[in-house]
Structure 1
Amino acid sequence: MTLLKGRIGSSLRRSSVFALGWVLSACTTLGPNYQEPEVQWLAQWQPDLYGQLSSENSQEAIDLAFWWQLFDDPVLNQLIHISKQENIDLRLAGLRILESRAQLGIVGSTLYPQLQQLSGSVIAAESRRRGGLLPDKDQGLINYQAGFGLGWELDFWGKYQRSIEAADAAFFSSVANQQNMQVLLSAQVTDLYFVYRTIEHRIAIAKSNADIQQRSFEITEKIYQEGQESELDLQQAKAQYLATLSTIPKLEMSLTTTRNALALILARPPGEIAELTVSSVKSLPKVDMVNLQHIPAHLLIRRPDIRSSAWQVAIQSAQIGIAESDYYPSISLSGTISWSGSTADAASDNGLIGVGPGFTWNIFDHGRIENNIRVQDARFQQTLERYQQTVLSAAREIDDAAIAIVKTSEQFVILEQAVQASERALSLANTRYREGYSSFQRVLDAQRAVFSRTEQLVLNRGEHVRSVVSLYKALGGGWTEHSIDELMPPPLKEIMEKRTDWGELLTTPNIESTENTAAELEPEYGASQYDQ
């Protein structure tokens, strides 16, 4: 009974030591606690986007997550859907989320005993003794030993806790980066799609004008052969017709390169895209007003790239605390249990149980620790400055896109009138030429004006659409939260699961260790300074 009490008391003492370690590890966390970076000017930045913001009472606001639906183009909707399933860059962004989750698991393990090592060995030896005073003797023996070692550096100064905070922030940053890739992907597909449609229109205009000019050339050629006109009219008509015809191959080349760029986004080899050949060429859309649910400042701070930049600040903030922990001693608990024996004559079996604290302290570092803290602090300030720059760049993108929408709309009205006037002038020039009141040069000038003004009108409409795309991209629209099934296509998940045991990382959308940190670090937008 006395022996049992002694063992119980010894176990209680060891448990007390471990419990004390846990308590001490939660006492101190060095370094600054992360705070959401503030943008002083953003709360007062309430632009009307040059009149682009419409009243929510008059029209239904556009869902930013699916902003491209305002163009009401089924082909575009289908292409974006395909791109979000097949695009390789988006898939890589999803894989980086998995990587960061696995990295978080590595860092989280540092809160537990870092050394948990089981060791053992068996050595067979044979000895021979010949000559000398002692009698000759041959002997074989086996030495064997086994042991278990435990080493636990207590997180007395919060070094490991800060590492976990940094890994948490890196995980959220990878999520934001994947969302930002969705934003870029939606904008790229929409932009390339309408560039493709614009080029199709330009080719159609060039062919139409080439047909008109070809007829004029054939008429002048017939008249010249009859001796009624000079060769000058013939050559001028021919030159203008061929000049217009020569623009078509370059446009067709641009059409092919644009299609190939779109195919790359869709993860397809260069070639025909069946979806683009479904519908005939139709007029490019015109968006007169932008309908938003929130003010631009509120939307701006939610842009995924800005959120990612904020998480980079959090990552570097934790690095300062990690660097400061090097100033202080590393306190650890260690223990070992071992057993050894031998088959040699008169050899005994030996057992050892040992446990106790220890510490190491770099007291002379010649300024290394201090300067490392300075390095981490300088990097922290750099992330803050980059965050401010990211917000400023985002605001500029919004403003640039908004003014482009307004001015391309104004230009469209003028160009539309110019096209109508050019077409009327061509009609009058043809009439006057047939009646002999003007030279053929007037007809050629009028044809050239119609071609030029019509193409400018199509280019303007294309620029207007691209400006709308740029605005919604600048507002951070086009992303949704993805589950793990959406991040990883089933065939890819199956391949990875066959190659490596991923546990629950490929089945659960989130991991519990990030939830509390998310609640602590992620700002509450409903009560932020930008909602005032």
Structure 2
Amino acid sequence: MIAGERQARGIGTAFVIATAVLLSACTTLGPDYKEPEVAWLKSWQSDLYGQLESPEQQTQVDLRFWWQAFNDPVLNGLIETARHENPSLRIAGLRILESRAVLGIASANQYPQLQQISGAATYVDNKQSGGAGPDIHQNYGAFSAGFDLAWELDFWGRFRRGIESAEAGFFASITNQQDVQVLLSAQVADLYYAYRTTLLRIKIAQDNVALQKRSLEITEQLFRGGQETELDLQQAKSQYLGTLATIPEQEANLVRFRNALSALLGRPPGDIPELASVGGPLPTVEKAVITEIPARLLLRRPDIRTAAWQVAAQSAQIGIAQADYFPAITLLGSIGWSTNTLDGSPEIRSFAGGPALTWNIFDYGRIRNNVRVQDARLQQSIELFQNSALLAAQEIDDAAISVVKTGEQQEPLSGAARAAERSLELANTLYREGYADFERVLDAQRVLFTQTERELLNISAHISAVITLYKAVGGGWVDMPMEQMLPETVREEMQTRTKWGDLLTAPLPASADGQARKTGESK
């Protein structure tokens, strides 16, 4: 008995020593992540076509809430509602929970992968009859219990790389949620002002219809009195009906914009009470207020941060694949007990422990080609990151020039619209006094309709360009706790269905918008 105990202690000591030696020799395969450098960004010194300002030149707009620069309470309320009710934003929040759980799975691989209790209670009834021997009948109960442990040591960094990849995926889900906020804010603002623009287009058309209808009525009276030709009558009718026909199309557009806005607010198609009071002219917005260098803003855009985290997640996959080149070193342990109810049967106790090695030495290129697959995917993610940066710069530049040029158009278009109004007044006066024919009046009405609508559409385009520029520089997102991402009813339903612990309320890390950290700094 004493010798057995000594043997067990010796095995246990050897087990501990072997574990310590193996863990101290651990290494991590694969490349350590380094964020790709955007080489051209150092020399890209865009001044946004003269719009880049210092903080002293103008009151700085908080990019997180850039829409407040429009000073429109209705718009502020719509964006706030969308942040709480939008389905896409809610889904993005749920993906954060999903990726956090995936990170938990990866982290668990650091510990013994198999910790299994087994047990059995069996009734056995054996009957043996016939033949040269005596008949035998045995019935008894057999019992056994055991505990098995298997711990594959992270000798080559397979599991550490897995944690690194899962953590990068977790941070990517956070920045993706931030990017959805950016897109959502811009979409709500764009649709809101498209709706208001359409209201004004309908009013312009209705005003022109009323004006042209009056001209048509006068022309009909003169025609019946023999003072005008049928040509003047038909031209007046054609212009009136043509303008009247534009209204149904704009009314249909109005409903489409309203329905699109309803979807962003998480509502079915129908009236939006918040829009009942909107009206009047569009706001005057000279330009976007950008006081920070665009190159810096570009790298902080949530979609660029997401692309960077995706590179980090894929970089770790190379090390995971390379670990298959080397043996898997596992520490095994087993404790067992068994007995049965037969008279004189002993109780059997067993203990086994020690390292084990498995090594797939002939894989016929499978491992090598898997490493190549992961490396090719890494390069693809790097190229996607570079392309995302290029497209972001293009979006910023396109929006900036649109803001500038639509701003430059406002004054001449406004002048043209006022000139068209005066032209119509003069044409009516000359027509009444007999110095001009009715065609001059019709031309003046047509020009007035065209120029007034062009002026409105340019103002709308300018507002849209300002919104796009704020979106392009990554404005419109805030750090949202999980309580804001998911309403209480959803969190309660999920907690009832599954044990989430504190994950539904746990704070999110604040470093997701920064550079990925090196291996070993994640926890």
TM-score by length of 1: 0.94
How far did 1:110 drift?
0.6
Q: Which residue of structure 2 lines up, in the alignment, with residue 218 of structure 1?
A: 217
How far did 1:410 drift?
1.2
Over 3 Å counting, the alpha-carbon distance change for 1:331 and 1:194 in structure 2 is same
How far did 1:349 drift?
1.4
Q: Is residue 53–residue 289 contact of structure 1 (8 Å, CA) maintained in 2? A: no
Q: Is residue 173–residue 308 contact of structure 1 (8 Å, CA) maintained in 2? A: yes
Q: Which residue of structure 2 lines up, in the alignment, with residue 477 of structure 1?
A: 475
Q: Which residue of structure 2 lines up, in the alignment, with residue 306 of structure 1?
A: 304
Q: Which residue of structure 2 lines up, in the alignment, with residue 23 of structure 1?
A: 24
Over 3 Å counting, the alpha-carbon distance change for 1:513 and 1:133 in structure 2 is farther
Q: Which residue of structure 2 lines up, in the alignment, with residue 146 of structure 1?
A: 145
**After superposition, where does 1:15-54 map in structure 2 within 5 Å?**
15-24=16-25, 27-54=26-53
Q: Which residue of structure 1 lines up, in the alignment, with residue 341 of structure 2?
A: 343
Q: Which residue of structure 1 lines up, in the alignment, with residue 103 of structure 2?
A: 104
Q: Which residue of structure 2 lines up, in the alignment, with residue 428 of structure 1?
A: 426
Q: Distance in 1 between matches of 2:508 and 2:360?
A: 40
**After superposition, where does 1:71-470 map in structure 2 within 5 Å?**
71-279=70-278, 281-470=279-468
How far did 1:517 drift?
10
Q: Distance in 1 between matches of 2:520 and 2:233?
A: 74
Q: Is residue 221–residue 234 contact of structure 1 (8 Å, CA) maintained in 2? A: yes
Q: Is residue 309–residue 516 contact of structure 2 (8 Å, CA) maintained in 1? A: no
TM-score by length of 2: 0.95
Q: Is residue 165–residue 517 contact of structure 1 (8 Å, CA) maintained in 2? A: no
Residue 492 of structure 2 is aligned to residue 491 of structure 1 = no
Q: Is residue 300–residue 476 contact of structure 1 (8 Å, CA) maintained in 2? A: yes
Deviates more, 1:103-112 or 1:6-15: 6-15
Q: Distance in 1 between matches of 2:501 and 2:363?
A: 43
Map Cα deviations across residues 95-129 of structure 1 (whole Å, 9 max, x no partner): 00000000000011111111111111111121233
Q: Distance in 1 between matches of 2:513 and 2:142?
A: 52
Q: Is residue 341–residue 349 contact of structure 1 (8 Å, CA) maintained in 2? A: yes
How far did 1:516 drift?
13
Map Cα deviations across residues 292-319 of structure 1 (whole Å, 9 max, x no partner): 2411011000000000000111011101
Q: Is residue 210–residue 245 contact of structure 1 (8 Å, CA) maintained in 2? A: yes
Q: Distance in 1 between matches of 2:511 and 2:350?
A: 38
How far did 1:138 drift?
3.2
Q: Distance in 1 between matches of 2:256 and 2:292?
A: 38
Q: Which residue of structure 1 lines up, in the alignment, with residue 504 of structure 2?
A: 506
How far did 1:88 drift?
0.3
Amino acid in the other structure paired with 2:293: I
- SS of the aligned residue for 1:191 comes to helix
The root-mean-square deviation of aligned C-alpha atoms, in Å, is: 2.2
Q: Distance in 1 between matches of 2:122 and 2:2?
A: 39
Deviates more, 1:3-12 or 1:112-121: 3-12
Q: Distance in 1 between matches of 2:106 and 2:406?
A: 53
- SS of the aligned residue for 2:59 comes to coil
Q: Is residue 54–residue 290 contact of structure 1 (8 Å, CA) maintained in 2? A: no
Q: Distance in 2 between matches of 1:478 and 1:178?
A: 12
Q: Is residue 55–residue 291 contact of structure 1 (8 Å, CA) maintained in 2? A: no
Q: Which 5+ residue runs of structure 1 have no aligned equivalent?
A: 524-532
Q: Distance in 1 between matches of 2:321 and 2:49?
A: 49
How far did 1:263 drift?
0.5
Map Cα deviations across residues 210-229 of structure 1 (whole Å, 9 max, x no partner): 00111111111122222222
Q: Distance in 2 between matches of 1:514 and 1:121?
A: 49
**After superposition, where does 1:53-68 map in structure 2 within 5 Å?**
53-68=52-67
Q: Is residue 54–residue 289 contact of structure 1 (8 Å, CA) maintained in 2? A: no
Q: Which 5+ residue runs of structure 2 have no aligned equivalent?
A: none
Map Cα deviations across residues 372-417 of structure 1 (whole Å, 9 max, x no partner): 1111111111111111100000000000000001111111111111
- The aligned length equals 520
Deviates more, 1:36-45 or 1:196-205: 36-45
